[in-house]
Amino acid sequence: MTINREAKFRIGQLVRHRFYSFRGVIFDVDPTFNNTEEWWLSIPEDVRPIKDQPFYHLLAENAESEYLAYVSEQNLVPDNSGEPVRHPQVKEIFGPMRDGFYQVRRENAH
């Protein structure tokens, strides 16, 4: 039996974490969990996501810093603020924001 793992969010989309105060722009998607078991077990059990769902790579930011984040689909919600992400790598991957989505630079599209 094949499971359809269609991602709810797309590359270039602004999202926020459902529980923690950070936001970011999606730059890659894994159809299911694709990180280390150690990483997964480091998440407190009461909030640990299931592995059989899309996981997103984010150029993320909070009030204090910018970083890379790996977040399950169940823990993301759209960020409709329209505010740009200040992460320094945004300009390396994306062009301008249009209609609330960053546009992938042609040289980075695959």
Give pLDDT, residue 106. 77
Query: Pick from 46, 92, 47, 45: which is nearest to 66 by CA?
Result: 92
15, 79 Cβ separation under 8 angstroms: yes
Three-state secondary-structure class, residue 22: coil
pLDDT tens track, the chain, 110 positions? 455 568 999 999 999 999 899 999 999 999 999 999 999 999 889 889 999 999 999 999 999 999 999 999 999 999 999 999 999 999 999 999 998 899 998 776 65
Contact 94, 103 (CB under 8 A): yes
Exposed (0-12), middle (13-18) or buried (19+): which is 70, by Cβ within 10 Å?
A: middle
Strand partners, 72: 55
63's tokens: 């009030």
